[in-house]
Amino acid sequence: MNINPEFNPEEVPSAVGAMQVSMQWIWQNFIEPRKHELDGDDADMLAMVGSVFLDIAKDAEAYQKAQSEKFIESPYSRN
């Protein structure tokens, strides 16, 4: 049941955009309030996790684009 009268199923947010909004919310609500408790290792791990999430979002966006364009397999791809 969709209760949003302005909902448009064709307006799908990008994976990268959704990831950025999510990471911003996590930063503001969990990391920023505790930043005085974090050490260098924690900062390194946060940077690594953020870059992994960004890579995953980019891959998801590329997959979604390929699926939406009805990817046609090349006859040369089965050598």
Nearest one of 29, 10, 21 to 54, comparing CA atoms: 21
Is 42 contained in some domain?
yes
Over residues 10-56, the pLDDT tens digits come to 677 889 999 999 999 999 999 999 989 999 999 999 999 999 999 99
How much is the pLDDT for 36? 92
Is 55 contained in some domain?
yes
Is 45 contained in some domain?
yes
Evaluate whether 31 touches 46 at the Cβ level (below 8 Å). Answer: yes
Give the number of other CB atoms < 10 A from CB of residue 63: 12
Is 69 contained in some domain?
no
Is 21 contained in some domain?
yes
Is 2 contained in some domain?
no
Domain residue limits at 45: 14-29+38-59
Q: What is the pTM of this model?
A: 0.68
Is 43 contained in some domain?
yes
What is the count of structural domains for the chain? Answer: 1
